Amino acid sequence: MITDSADTLVGLRLAGIEGVVTRTAAEAYTALDEVLRDPEIGILLVTERLARECESRLAPLKMTISTPLVIEIPDRHSTGRSADSITRYIREAIGVKL
């Protein structure tokens, strides 16, 4: 996972998901390059806000590569979602009940 929120990273680490916190688009691009070089990574989770900031780089990847599968996930700062949206999203997507 690549996120801009330490809270999101900690929460998903409890579910066994590894990741990195980035604070700038440049840091996110560096982390993305590392993910793309690692053939062991099949799914890349990116928080919505960070995905919007890096859209110019992520959009072409989603259209051209088969692995890793890039999935945007909500974080606690996402707008327009119910209070338990992250928990529900994880439960429905990967079957982990938090």
> What is the rounded average pLDDT of the residues 42-66?
86
Residue with tokens 């707008």: 79
Apex 24 CA angle, 20 and 25, nearest 5 = 95
Domain boundary assignment for the chain: 2-94
Choose the weakest-confidence range: 26-30, 31-35, 61-65, 79-83. 79-83
Residue with tokens 């980035």: 22
pLDDT digits 0-9 by tens, 7-29? 888 888 988 899 999 988 899 99
- Of the chain, the percentage scoring pLDDT greater than 70 comes to 76
HSE-CB of 69 using CA atoms within 13 angstroms: 4
What is the fold of 2-94?
Rossmann fold (3.40.50)
pTM here is: 0.74
What pLDDT is recorded for position 97? 59
- Tokens of residue 22, six digits: 């980035």
User: Residue 96, SS3?
Assistant: coil
Beta bridge partners of 69: 43
